[in-house]
Chain A
Amino acid sequence: MKRIGTALAAILMIGSGLVSASAATLRVGIQDDPDALDPALSGTYTGRFVFAALCDKLVDISPDLKIVPQLAEAWDWAADGKSVTFTLRKNVTFHDGTAFDAAAVKFNIERMKTMPDSKRKAELAPIVSVEALAADKVKFNLSEPFVPLLANLSDRAGMMVSPKAATEKAGDFAAAPVCAGPYQFVERKSRDLIRLKKYPGYWNAGTVGYDEVVYYYVPDSTVRLSRVRAGDLELAERVAPTDLKTVRDDPNLTLHSGQGLAVSHLMFNVGAGAKADTPLGKNAALRQAFELAIDRNVINRVAFNGEFLADNQMIPPSSPFYDSAHKAPTRDVAKAKALIAAAGMTRVPVELSYENSAGDARVAQIIQSMAAEAGFDVKLLPMETTTAIERYLNGNFEAYIGNWSGRADPDPTLVAFFSCAGSQNVNKYCNKDLDAILTQARGEADEAKRKALYAKATDTYLTALSSIPLYHPNWFFAARKSVGGIVMVPDGLLRLVGVKPAN
C-alpha cells in the first residue's frame, strides 16, 4: 500500500513537473514570418517583434514615447547639438558571453553604416564617426544637429549584436543572431516558428519570466485568436478590431490594447506625372472640400467597430509633439459643395486606388459613399499587394489610401511624406518653407521649441492637404489570463522584460 502511495506521489510529481515546464513556455502567434533576423537587415514589423525579446537597444521608448535608458544608462548632448556621449551599462554580456562595451557600440554603428545591404544607413546617416572614450563611454559625432537620432536608436539601429559573432559568421549571422536581450536564439523553422530561450547572463535577469519563448507564424488573425482561445498559444498579436468582442467575452483571455504610431491617410497625387493632372490634384480647395465631405468617425465606427482613433494628423495623439490646436473638422457637406461650386465644378471625378485588404476596401467604399453626397465621383480601384506597392512607389495614382507604420519621433514621418525629397513623398508635394521648418525642428533639442516648430509644420501640411490623415490604428493583443506583466508601448512591440506567468 505504501509502495503504491509512493508510486502515485512520484507520478504526481512528474506530472506537476511537466506542467510547470510547459507553463514556463510563452507561445506567441505572429502574423508574418519575419525576414532576416539581423537588426541591420530587418525590414518587417514581426522581425522587430522578435527582436524585442532577442536584442536590447541603446535606448528604449516608454509608453508615453519618452526616450528611456536600456543598454545606455545616460546620454549627454553637446551644446552645439553636433555630438552625443552615451554612458553604457556595465556588466552586460552578449549571448555568446563576450562583453558589451564602447568598442562593441562602435563596431555595431560602423557595421550598420557600411554593410552593403544595411537598411539602417538612412537612420544613422547623420553619424560621422564613433569614438570609444572609455570602456563605458562612447561618443557619436554628427554632421548636423539631429535630435531624432535617439528615437532611431530605440529601434533596430540601436540594437547591439555581438561583434565576435558578427565577424565570425558574417553573412550567416541572421540565421542565428547573437545579441544582448533577455532571450537568446535557439532555432528557426522557416514559415513555422522561431524558438528562444532565457539568457541566464542577462543584465536584468530577475525580470525574465519564462524559460522559453516560441513565436509561431499564424497569418490569419482569426486563426491566431482561436488558437489562443484553445490554449494552443498564450498570446496573439494584432487581433482584428471586429474580433475584439470575442476576446472581451472570453473569461480566459485579456485584451491588451494601446495607442499606436501608425496612420492611415488618403494621399492625393499633386505632382507625380500625368495622374497629378486632376481637379483634386491641382486644387487644394477641392481637397479641403473632400475632407469636409467625409466623416472620420463614421469610417472608424463602420470599418473598425469604433476601435481605432479617428484623427486628422500624421502624428498620433500619443506623441508629445501632437498638435491639439488642429482639431479634425466636422463633416460639412454644404460647405464642401460650396467649395466645389467656387472651383467652378459640380461633379469632381477621382480614381481612388488601394491595396485590396479588408480594412482598406471598407474604408474606400465608405469614403466613396460619403464623398458622393458632396459631389465627388470616386471610382474605386482595388489592387493586389504587389501592384499596389509598385503603383504607390511610382506615384501612379490619383488618390491612394496609404498606411504608414509611424515612428516614435515625428521627424521621420513628416520628412518622409512632406519634404520635397522625402522617401515616401510619392505624390510629390513640395514646399520649401516646410522643408526649412522640418530641418530646423530636427536640430532643436529644446522640446517646447521643437513642439512649436511641429505645430507650424502641421498647419502647413493641413492647409495643403496633399494627404488627408484618416485614423490611427490601435494595437490589440489577445493574451491568456495566465500571462502577466504585459505593457503596451505605441510601437506595438511586445517587451518581454517583466512578462511572466501570472498566479
Chain B
Amino acid sequence: MSTIEATPVPAPMRAGRRSEIRRLLREPSAVIGGTIIMFFVVLAVFAPWIGPYDPNTPDWMAIRAAPNAAHWFGTDDLGRDVLSRVIFGTQASLAAGLVSVTVAVLIGLPFGLIAGYFGGAADMVISRVADALLACPFLVLAIALAAFLGPSLQNAMIAIGISAIPVFVRVSRAETLVVRTEDYIAAARAQGLGHFAILTGQVLPNVLAPTIVQATLTMAIAVLAEASLAFLGLGQLPPAPSWGAMLDVARQFLSEAPWMAFWPGLAIIALVVGFNLIGDGLNSALNPRQ
C-alpha cells in the first residue's frame, strides 16, 4: 500500500481567485477528476432515489445471481443487489475521504503553522512527533488505531485521520518556513500585529494552496485506506455496504461470482483516480512555476 509523501508545492503569490479557477478549468486532469468526483457525490447524496433496491435486504431466492435484467450488477452471497450496494457504498467511501482528511487538516495544519512560524522548541517537539508518526507506515498505523478503537466507520475515519496528520504538519511547516521570511511578514510585524493575527491573516492564506493540493491527494489514499480497513473487517459494520467489505466477501467467490468483486473494485479505482486527477490538476493550477 502506498505511503503518503508530502508533495512540495512552492508558495503561490496571492493572485485573484477567479484566475485560479480559470487556470484550474484549463487543466484537463482537473476537469476529468472533478467530473468523476461529482458523479460519485451525486450517487452518494441521491443513493436512496438512484439505488434500485434496499442495499441491505437479502433475497434468499437470488443468491449470487449473475447480472441480469432485474439485477444489473448481479447479487451477492446473501442475494442483495450489488448495484444498490455499490451506490450506497459510495457514502462510506466519500465520508471516509472527506471526514478523515478534514480531521487531519484541522489538527495537522495549526501544528505545522506553529512549528514553522515559531521554530525553536515548539518546532523541535512538533516535528519529532510528526517524524515518529511518519516513521510508521500509514496503513499499518491506521490498522493499529482502528483495531484499538474497535470496528465502525466512525472509528475507521478517526484512525485514518490521525494517521494522515503528520503529512499536513510537514507541508504546512515547510510552507510557513518560506513565508515567514517574506517582506510582508516583516511589514506586518512592523505594524505591530500580534503573532495570532499574522499567522491567520498573513501566513495561513499562503499556506492554504499547497495544503488543499495535499488534502485532495490524501483523500485518494484515505478512500483506499477505508476500503482496506473494511476489507479487514475494521470499517463499516455489516450489513451496511462498504466497497472494501464487499471485496472481502467477494474474494471467497472469485471464480463463481466475479461480479461481486468487479463492481466495488471498479468503484474504488474510479474514485481514487478521480481524487488523484483533481489533485494533479490543482497542483498545476495553483503552482505558479508551471
Contact = CB atoms under 8 A, between A and B. Distances in A.
B151 A358 contact: no
Interface in A218-242: 222, 240, 242
Given A358-B252, A362-B78, A369 B57 contact: yes
A75 B77 CA distance: 51
A366 B147 contact: no
B63 A302 contact: yes
Contacts of B147: 384
Interface residues of B, number: 19
B73 to A, nearest CB: 19
Interface stretch (B105-113, B188-196, B233-241): B233-241
A364 B58 CA distance: 13
Interface in B57-76: 57-58, 60, 63
Nearest to B79: A302
A365 B60 contact: no
Interface string A375-386: 000001111100
B253 interface: yes
Interface in A347-380: 356, 358, 361-362, 364-366, 368-369, 380
Interface in B250-264: 252-253, 255-256
A220 to B, nearest CB: 10
B252 A365 contact: no
A233 B278 CA distance: 50
Contacts of B253: 242
B78 A382 contact: no
B79 A365 contact: no
Interface in A86-124: none
A245 B253 CA distance: 12
Contact of A242 (B57, B60, B151, B252): B252
Given A242-B252, A356-B233, A358-B252, A365 B57 contact: no
Contact of B237 (A240, A242, A366, A381): A381
B238 A382 contact: yes
A298 interface: yes
Interface string A141-173: 000000000000000000000000000000000
B252 A380 contact: no
B60 A380 contact: no
A299 B233 CA distance: 21
Contact of B77 (A245, A356, A362, A381): A362
A301 interface: yes
A301 B60 CA distance: 9
Contacts of B57: 369
Contacts of B238: 361, 364-365, 380, 382
A365 B237 contact: no
B249 interface: yes
A203 B60 CA distance: 54
Nearest to A380: B238
Nearest to B245: A361
Contacts of B256: 242, 245
A365 B60 CA distance: 12
A368 B239 contact: yes
Given A242-B252, A302-B79, A358-B249, A365 B233 contact: no
Contacts of A365: 58, 78, 238-239
Contact of B233 (A302, A368, A382): A382
A240 B255 CA distance: 14
A268 B84 CA distance: 33
Contacts of A301: 60, 63
A222 B78 CA distance: 20
Contact of A382 (B63, B79, B237): B237
B218 to A, nearest CB: 27
Interface in B225-250: 233, 237-239, 249
B130 to A, nearest CB: 29
A242 B255 CA distance: 11
Given A240-B252, A380-B238, A384-B233, A366 B58 contact: yes
Nearest to A297: B60
Contacts of B249: 358, 361
Contacts of B56: 369
Contact of A302 (B60, B237, B252): B60
Contact of B239 (A245, A356, A380, A384): A380
Contacts of B239: 365, 368-369, 380
A487 B89 CA distance: 47
Specify which of A301, A302, A366, A381 lies most central, judged by the most chain B CB atoms within 10 Å of its CB.
Answer: A302
B237 A380 contact: yes
Contacts of A358: 249, 252
Given A365-B239, A369-B58, 12 more contacts: A240-B252, A301-B63, A302-B58, A302-B63, A366-B78, A368-B239, A369-B56, A369-B57, A381-B237, A382-B151, A384-B147, A384-B233
25 contacts: A222-B252, A240-B252, A242-B252, A242-B256, A246-B255, A301-B60, A301-B63, A302-B58, A302-B63, A302-B78, A302-B79, A358-B252, A361-B238, A365-B58, A365-B78, A366-B78, A368-B239, A369-B57, A369-B58, A369-B78, A369-B239, A381-B237, A382-B237, A382-B238, A384-B147
Which 7 residue pairs are nearest across A and B when measured between Cβ atoms?
Answer: A356-B233, A365-B239, A369-B58, A380-B238, A298-B60, A358-B252, A365-B238
